[in-house]
Amino acid sequence: MTQPRVAGPAEAGATLTRPHAWVPGDPGWSGPVVLLLHGTGGDETDLLPLGRELAPGAPLLAPRGTVLEGTMPRFFRRLREGVFDEADLTARAAELARFIAAAAGEYGFTPGSLVAVGFSNGANIASALLLTHPEAIGDAILIAAMPPFGVAPPVDLAGHRVLISNGRRDPMAPPPLTSRLVDDLTSRGATVELLLHPGGHQLAADHLPAMRAFLKPAASTGQTGSTGQTGSTEQTGSTRG
First to last CA, the chain: 25
**In the Cβ-directed half-sphere of 134, how many Cα atoms lie within 13 Å?**
17
Helices (H) and strands (E) in the chain, counts: 5, 13
In angstroms, the CA 164 to CA 118 distance is 10
Q: Where are the alpha helices (DSSP H) in 108-205?
A: 121-132, 175-186
In angstroms, the CA 144 to CA 124 distance is 9
**120 carries an active-site annotation:** yes
Nearest Cα to Cα of residue 195 among 178, 180, 176, 216:
178
Q: Which of 20, 38, 120, 160 is catalytic?
A: 120
CA trace torsion 196, 197, 199, 203 (10° rounding): -90
**In the Cβ-directed half-sphere of 85, how many Cα atoms lie within 13 Å?**
13
**156 carries an active-site annotation:** no
In angstroms, the CA 97 to CA 84 distance is 19
Q: Which of 20, 38, 133, 201 is catalytic?
A: 201
**170 carries an active-site annotation:** yes
Q: Which of 170, 184, 197, 207 is catalytic?
A: 170
Instruction: Give 196-220 as a DSSP string.
Output: EESSSSSB-GGGHHHHHHHHHHHHH
Q: Which residues are catalytic?
A: 120, 170, 201
